[in-house]
Chain A
Amino acid sequence: MVLALVMVVKNVLIVDDEKPFLLSLTDGLAAYAKDFEVLTALNGKEALKVLDSTGVDLVVTDLRMPKMDGFELLAHMSGQYPAIPVIVMTAYGTPAIEERLQDMGTFHYLEKPLEFNVLADMIFDALEAGSSPDRIHGVSLAAFLQLLEMENKTCTLTVKSRGREGHLYFVKGVLMQAEVGKVKGEEAALDIVTWDNVAMEIQYTCTVKKKSIGSPLAEILMEGFRIKDEKAEKESVGEKEEKMDVKKLNGIITSLAEDLGDALLTTDIWAVADGQSIAGYKSNPKAAALFNRMGKLLDNALQGGKLSGIDTHYMLHLKNDTIMMGMPLGDYQWGLLVDAKKAQLGLLMNVIIPDTITAIKSALGV
């Protein structure tokens, strides 16, 4: 077998208004010519021309530049080139600022004066991250807002996402006001910061004079992240519920009740996360709660003791001659209590349980 290795040289665009600095960077990074080619631009406007004409894999940009600065460039890139990773350079950073930006984790930050090996390492990291399909590229809204605050910017930022439009007003880096349609203030700010796939436009004017937002930006961003996570979790639960065929589940339970007759005392199918029953026969919340606890107990105890977890079922014979059976089904569980004297255990174990598990899994979409 012949393996053909094709080396693809990537393009790194460095944007800075200091010509000698650009030249020294180009020279210093020439050692990595087999991995990436360095393109340069003296301001945002020039950078846009390069971006429009050449396939750029990474942008390394200063923030303070004439004609079009780094903020305008980043805002433009958020709409036109959202997938291109970005490294921001600034001469005005402090360790606290650096830590905050690194914590954002969405783009890379470098403090001037630069060390070639540090810059090269960061370029390789950013290029690698840029090629990962799972990663958010470019600059995030949260990181951009933090930069505006840290650079004491006075501006109006227009944010667009999925047909929505909002405005954030900054005076000397302080978030004064936010609006989305008729909604204003902190409520609007909290809404905007949860948007994703945003395109931004920045104007260096701000008509707002009165501060209507009490919380600091960092708090709004943190709360925004929390709301976003909560929303994502709800959507995920919603998607699962959409996949679920509750009618079919009820049909399965009815059929099970017919098969087992009066041997079946109670049965429920519930979500492990909240213990809430989805379908059941003679539903018994107390029993469902016990089953839920029991399932977790067994999983923790068995796996904590380095044994494998429960596969298809567990079975407990209780003093009143009932059998408690629990079946884990991913995010759900099915439990039943049967009268040991009346149940045909052979039929239950060999036919009813395996068939019912298959049918329930299909109805749950797991």
Chain B
Amino acid sequence: MDIKKLNKLIDDLKKEFGDALLATDIWANADGQILVGYNSLPEAAALMNQIAQQIADTLKEADFPPLDKFTSFNLQGGHTTFTLVFKDYHWGMLFDTTKIQLGLLLNVIAPKCIEGFHEALSK
């Protein structure tokens, strides 16, 4: 895995979103441990990892297709989580709901992040 590339992706994300981005972490699904991050929130990462597993189980039990690209939660208190889903990893982001440009995130940044992450993995 190209850690330099991952850090570069996180730097780019910071630049794109400025103070709308409160924290971001990339963690391994297996143990919820963080690989790289900015304003890292290990407890939140562990919780989101657990929630992703529970969502996967619930979808499976209901005979629905599994999670694919992302999950997003608009939370009370003015925060929005956006988590990119990969086979063995998750990339979680915490935004200020009032400042986030969701269209930019969904249509421009998220595809870039997904592409960049796969490139970093392939090395």
- What is A's interface to B at a CB cutoff of 8 Å? 286-287, 289-290, 293-294, 297-298, 301-302, 305, 307-322, 324, 345-346, 349-350
A161 to B74, CA, bound (A): 50
Q: Is A318 a contact of B44 with CB atoms below 8 Å?
A: no
Q: Is A315 a contact of B72 with CB atoms below 8 Å?
A: yes
Let me know if B111 is at the binding interface, CB within 8 A.
Answer: no
Q: Is B55 a contact of A294 with CB atoms below 8 Å?
A: yes
Q: Is B77 a contact of A308 with CB atoms below 8 Å?
A: yes
Nearest CB of B to A253, in Å: 22
Q: Is A301 a contact of B102 with CB atoms below 8 Å?
A: no
Which residues of chain B from 102 to 120 have a CB within 8 Å of any chain A CB?
Answer: 102-103, 106-107
Q: Is B71 a contact of A316 with CB atoms below 8 Å?
A: yes
Nearest CB of B to A306, in Å: 8
Q: Known contacts A290-B59, A301-B47: does B65 contact A319 (CB below 8 Å)?
A: yes
**Residues on the B chain within 8 Å of A314, using CB:** 71-74
13 A-B contacts, Cβ less than 8 Å apart? A286-B63, A297-B54, A301-B47, A302-B47, A308-B76, A313-B74, A316-B55, A316-B67, A317-B70, A317-B71, A318-B64, A324-B64, A346-B107
| Smallest Cβ-Cβ distance to A321: which chain B residue | B68
A314 to B102, CA, bound (A): 13
| Smallest Cβ-Cβ distance to A303: which chain B residue | B76
Q: Is B74 a contact of A290 with CB atoms below 8 Å?
A: no
Q: Is B74 a contact of A310 with CB atoms below 8 Å?
A: yes
Let me know if B30 is at the binding interface, CB within 8 A.
Answer: no
Which residues of chain B from 12 to 66 have a CB within 8 Å of any chain A CB?
Answer: 43-44, 47, 50-51, 54-55, 58-59, 62-66
Q: Is A345 a contact of B106 with CB atoms below 8 Å?
A: yes
Contact of A302 among B58, B64, B73, B107 (CB under 8 A): B73
Let me know if B79 is at the binding interface, CB within 8 A.
Answer: yes
| Smallest Cβ-Cβ distance to A301: which chain B residue | B51
A224 to B68, CA, bound (A): 52
Count of A-B contacts judged by CB separation below 8 Å: 95
A311 to B74, CA, bound (A): 6
**Residues on the A chain within 8 Å of B72, using CB:** 314-315
Among A293, A311, A313, A349, max chain B CB count under 10 A is at A311
Nearest CB of A to B94, in Å: 10
**Residues on the B chain within 8 Å of A315, using CB:** 70-73
Chain B interfacial residues counted at CB < 8 A: 32
Q: Is A308 a contact of B79 with CB atoms below 8 Å?
A: yes
Main secondary structure of the interface of B (DSSP, over half): mixed
Nearest CB of B to A301, in Å: 5
| Smallest Cβ-Cβ distance to A318: which chain B residue | B65
Nearest CB of A to B118, in Å: 16
- Known contacts A302-B47, A311-B97; 6 additional CB pairs below 8 A are A290-B62, A290-B64, A310-B74, A317-B69, A322-B65, A350-B102
**Residues on the A chain within 8 Å of B54, using CB:** 297, 301
Nearest CB of B to A340, in Å: 8
A346 to B100, CA, bound (A): 12
A319 to B54, CA, bound (A): 16
Q: Is A307 a contact of B74 with CB atoms below 8 Å?
A: no
| Smallest Cβ-Cβ distance to B72: which chain A residue | A315
Nearest CB of B to A352, in Å: 13
Q: Known contacts A294-B55, A318-B67: does B107 contact A345 (CB below 8 Å)?
A: yes
A324 to B59, CA, bound (A): 11
A289 to B103, CA, bound (A): 29
A164 to B58, CA, bound (A): 51
| Smallest Cβ-Cβ distance to A312: which chain B residue | B74
A321 to B66, CA, bound (A): 10
**Residues on the A chain within 8 Å of B97, using CB:** 311
Q: Known contacts A286-B62, A345-B103: does B71 contact A302 (CB below 8 Å)?
A: no
Q: Is A302 a contact of B75 with CB atoms below 8 Å?
A: yes
Contact of B76 among A286, A309, A320, A321 (CB under 8 A): A309
A43 to B50, CA, bound (A): 69
Contact of A317 among B51, B63, B68, B79 (CB under 8 A): B68
Among B43, B58, B75, B79, max chain A CB count under 10 A is at B75
A268 to B55, CA, bound (A): 20
**Residues on the A chain within 8 Å of B76, using CB:** 308-311
Contact of A294 among B44, B58, B66, B85 (CB under 8 A): B58
